Structure 1
Amino acid sequence: MKSNFTFLLALLSFATNCFSKNDPKLDITTTNNYENTSKVIHVFVALCDNKYQGIVPVPAKIGDGQDADNNLYWGCGFGIRTYFKKSSEWKFLKSEKMKGTVLERVIFKHTTKDVYLIADAYDGKEIKKCTEDFLNSNSGDLKNTIKINDKTLGIYGNSALVAYIGHNGLMDFKLNKSYTNTDGKKRDCIILACKSKSYFSAYITNANSNPLVWTTQFMAPEAYTIHDAISGYVLNENANQIRERAAKAYSKFQKCSLKAAKGLLVAGF
């Protein structure tokens, strides 16, 4: 027993010292309900996965759902982690490598507003769990907090905005839950996945969530679209203005007409 206790203390000390003294301290806690004093955005990213998802295969290196660093939706140039790190609007605070369902979590702070962004990279084979966590957050059934330095942030359903990025797993599997709202709160959401409006509509309705941007057709859920949508959200723009920003970004990077982008990216029901 004493030996096990000593080992646990050593392990805790090692984990603590893994963080540089100059880095913000990141702790995961188990608190559920929490009222944020800052605005918090939580982004769920299902890593692109040739093997475990029903997608048109992409090059093997960027389609390995167990390799976040090289993944199309995370570590590549237009992946969430890389794109937001390069953004002048966001300050990178912390990255935490994890094991299990979520492979990495990154935290950003807006450079001029009191807004935090948390993004989780889900193992590509765990896309169903990613989808479930996103919907449970919309309904208020999943809540937690994290602590960075002395700042506590409510995440999942404690967030003001929750977003999903990746393949539309609802094309491949069914869910056995209605995701009915549990706390009377109305959250905003963004869903960048192929045909997300038709596939997610019933769940988002039950969750009493407000869809700011989702899609009508097939699309490439890369980071520039949600980045620019969130730019409008931070400025408290309305859904149509946020959707306009998203469409302009998609039009620019996908080299399609703005009209086509607006037909793809829509707001509300």
Structure 2
Amino acid sequence: MRLIITFILLGFAIGSNSQIIQKPDSSTQIDSTIKTIHIFVALCDNKYQGIVPVPAKIGNGQDSNNNLYWSCGFGIKTYFKKSKEWKLIKVQKIDSTRLERLVFKHTTKNYYLIADAYNGRYIKECTIDFLRSSSGQLKDTIRINNKVIGISGNAELAAYIGHNGLMDFQLSEAFKNTDNKTRDVIILACISKNYYSAHLKSAKVNPIVWTTGFMCPEAYTIHDAITGYLNNESNEKIRTRAALAYSKYQKCSEKAARNLLVTGW
């Protein structure tokens, strides 16, 4: 049974005053031949997010091993591990906020995909990190096989997956572009275009796919969108891939999926 119901009701305000601030190592030189995609996943959380509760085992935002958006059949970790397009090369435990980091390498292209599973309690921090990365305020690097690759604001594409925390809390911070670089973004969360637009206008991003209504942010949608992205397809073609995947797995009409998943401003 589909869990789209989990996104329909707005919850009470949540969040934390603490924020994650990552400082890049300025002494490292990013390998310019390698491109990256960074996915920020706020784990589903019955206790700390304003959602209709899902079964306890998959709605524990402190357990990445069983979470709906991470380790279930259509979670980011499980779905991408099964993909013929990606190979998992590293799993890393980080801290109590970012419970797990995955690093995938594309099987034919010089692209890496980094996915971070944020403790569901810290959905606000996950949202802020995504917005800071989209504007270039937050930049970082990681080392893979003696090569330094860019993540956060150093990635070509930043994506957010999960509950729309902006329904539950407000952000006063301005996310103004810092380096005049236009970054590509995908936001798979309920009504994301409406809630994220104001925060991303000054970030000067290119919104490839975001949403106009309630949705289930399972991994097939972003997986197929990324396939088009790596093929240098237009925003509209990438959006079509995302809509077709959503239509297939959610068993809704293509028209409904296209109305939900949109591109551009």
Normalised to the residue count of structure 1, the TM-score between the two structures is 0.88
- Whole-angstrom CA distance in 1 between matches of 2:33 and 2:137: 21
- Whole-angstrom CA distance in 2 between matches of 1:241 and 1:38: 24
- Whole-angstrom CA distance in 2 between matches of 1:34 and 1:121: 24
2:118 pairs with 1:117: no
Asked if the contact 2:23/2:138 (under 8 Å) is kept, the reply is: no
Q: How does 1:81-100 map to 2 (within 5 A)?
A: 81-100=77-96
Aligned match of 1:15: none
Rg bigger for which structure? 1
Deviations 1:181-209 (A, max 9, x none): 01111000000000000000111211001
Aligned-pair distance for 1:30?
Answer: 3.8
Aligned match of 1:127: 123
After TM superposition, where is structure 1 displaced by more than 3 Å over at least 4 residues in a row? 32-36
Query: What percent of counterpart residues are identical?
Result: 66
2:25 pairs with 1:31: yes
- Which runs of 5 or more residues in structure 1 are unaligned? 1-27
- SS at 1:94 equivalent: strand
- Whole-angstrom CA distance in 2 between matches of 1:37 and 1:214: 28
Number of residues of Structure 1 aligned to a counterpart in Structure 2: 242
Q: How does 1:180-195 map to 2 (within 5 A)?
A: 180-195=176-191
Asked if the contact 1:29/1:146 (under 8 Å) is kept, the reply is: no
- Whole-angstrom CA distance in 2 between matches of 1:206 and 1:57: 35
- Whole-angstrom CA distance in 1 between matches of 2:132 and 2:227: 25
- Whole-angstrom CA distance in 2 between matches of 1:31 and 1:185: 20
For residue 225 of structure 1, the aligned residue among 194, 205, 221 is 221
2:47 pairs with 1:47: no
Q: Which amino acid aligns with 2:152?
A: Y
2:142 pairs with 1:146: yes
- Whole-angstrom CA distance in 2 between matches of 1:253 and 1:168: 21
For residue 206 of structure 1, the aligned residue among 187, 202, 211 is 202
Asked if the contact 1:50/1:64 (under 8 Å) is kept, the reply is: yes
Q: Which amino acid aligns with 1:116?
A: Y
Asked if the contact 1:53/1:169 (under 8 Å) is kept, the reply is: yes
- Which runs of 5 or more residues in structure 2 are unaligned? 1-21
- SS at 1:68 equivalent: coil
2:153 pairs with 1:160: no
- Whole-angstrom CA distance in 1 between matches of 2:23 and 2:264: 34
RMSD, aligned CA:
1.4
- Whole-angstrom CA distance in 1 between matches of 2:107 and 2:31: 22
- SS at 2:65 equivalent: helix
- SS at 2:46 equivalent: coil
Aligned match of 2:14: none
Q: Which amino acid aligns with 2:130?
A: F
Asked if the contact 1:215/1:266 (under 8 Å) is kept, the reply is: yes
Q: Which amino acid aligns with 1:215?
A: T
- SS at 1:53 equivalent: coil
Asked if the contact 2:23/2:139 (under 8 Å) is kept, the reply is: no
Normalised to the residue count of structure 2, the TM-score between the two structures is 0.89
Aligned-pair distance for 1:116?
Answer: 0.6
For residue 237 of structure 2, the aligned residue among 216, 223, 241 is 241
- Whole-angstrom CA distance in 1 between matches of 2:92 and 2:144: 12
